[in-house]
Chains A and B, each alone.
Chain A
Amino acid sequence: MIDDFITLLSAAFVLIGAFFALVASIGLLRLPDLYSRMHAASKAGTMGSGLMLIALAVHAADSGVFARALAGVVFFLLTAPISAHLLAKAAYAVGYRLGPSAVRDEMAGQDTENPR
């Protein structure tokens, strides 16, 4: 009974995680410019991989695997926003501007630490 429940729970986590990973890749293809694409990659991507790691933790039912999977989720949460931020910052620094649908850019001409 409890085994069935754990199997169903981990299956649900894998499916939802896979759905978000798929959404992240569709977003990378459909969104107009690099900055908008980073939204899809950093959020839906983190969510997808995090959910799949949680599914692994639930399925393994072993405290060692559980701790490592949780550490993996924490590292995803720590590193995904930093890489998204650095990519956006680097893109702005080399002069990659917002896409044609952008409505405002209050960063243009401002004093930031970007080497020019």
Chain B
Amino acid sequence: MSLFLVNVLLALAWAAVTGSFTFLNLAFGFVLAMGTLSLIREQVGSVGYFSRARRVISLFLLFIYELILSAWRVATLVLSPRMDLKPGIFAYPLKVDRDFEITLLANLITLTPGTLSVDVSSDRRTLYVHAIDASNPEQTRRDIAEGFERKIMEAFR
């Protein structure tokens, strides 16, 4: 996390030196600082930083992809003349235990195909998820565990 701070500070330094604090220049400075950090990654020990950055980006891309898929699925469902729904609430046993990770997972679940997180049990071990198609909760549970939960664990541990 401190390397991320160094990265931001270097980007700010770039913006100050070039004398323009526009969004594009800051973004360019950030990429430049990232390149600099990757040159000295052996010395400052930022190897982990880059593989983590890659995993955070891959989590973000998975999220965008799932959001598009989910909007599309809702669209086809809503526009089909006969709506054949089997909605229901199922329990999902949580492997992540930090508040931040539970929040992130709950938000990601809400924005993905056919699922909406409703509540967390008071011992923080179970997430209650509403699915628009709850006929096969085992499959949905496996999808969440192997998709988002694994990616979150990879990105933030």
Q: Mark A35-62, 1 if CB is under 8 A from B, else 0.
A: 1101110111011000000000000000
Our pick among A27, A36, A77, A112 for the contact of B111 (Cβ within 8 Å) is A77
Contacts of A64 in B (CB 8 A): 22-23
Our pick among A20, A27, A42 for the contact of B116 (Cβ within 8 Å) is A42
Our pick among A30, A35, A88 for the contact of B83 (Cβ within 8 Å) is A30
Given the known inter-chain contacts A63-B23, A67-B23, please indicate yes or no for A47 contacting B87, CB distance below 8 A: no
For window 51-89 of A, CB contacts with B under 8 Å fall at: 63-64, 66-67, 77-78, 80-82, 84-85, 88-89
Q: Mark B103-131, 1 if CB is under 8 A from A, else 0.
A: 00011101100101111111100101010
Contacts of A63 in B (CB 8 A): 22-24
The B contact surface, by secondary structure, is: mixed
Of B11-19, B29-37, B71-79, B145-153, which stretch is located at the interface? B71-79
Our pick among B75, B123, B132 for the contact of A36 (Cβ within 8 Å) is B132
Contacts of A102 in B (CB 8 A): 86-89, 134
Q: A15 in the interface, Cβ–Cβ < 8 Å?
A: no
Contact: B75 with A44, CB < 8 Å?
A: yes
**Residue count of chain A within 8 Å CB distance of chain B:** 48
Our pick among A26, A33, A113 for the contact of B87 (Cβ within 8 Å) is A33
Contacts of B77 in A (CB 8 A): 27
A23 to B74, alpha carbons, bound, how many Å? Answer: 8
Contact: B88 with A30, CB < 8 Å?
A: no
Contact: B116 with A46, CB < 8 Å?
A: no
Q: A107 in the interface, Cβ–Cβ < 8 Å?
A: yes
Contact: A103 with B116, CB < 8 Å?
A: no
Q: B68 in the interface, Cβ–Cβ < 8 Å?
A: yes
Our pick among A46, A66, A103, A107 for the contact of B67 (Cβ within 8 Å) is A46
Contact: A92 with B74, CB < 8 Å?
A: no
B interface residues (Cβ-Cβ under 8 A, vs A): 22-24, 67-68, 70-71, 74-75, 77-79, 83, 85-91, 106-108, 110-111, 114, 116-123, 126, 128, 130, 132, 134-135, 137
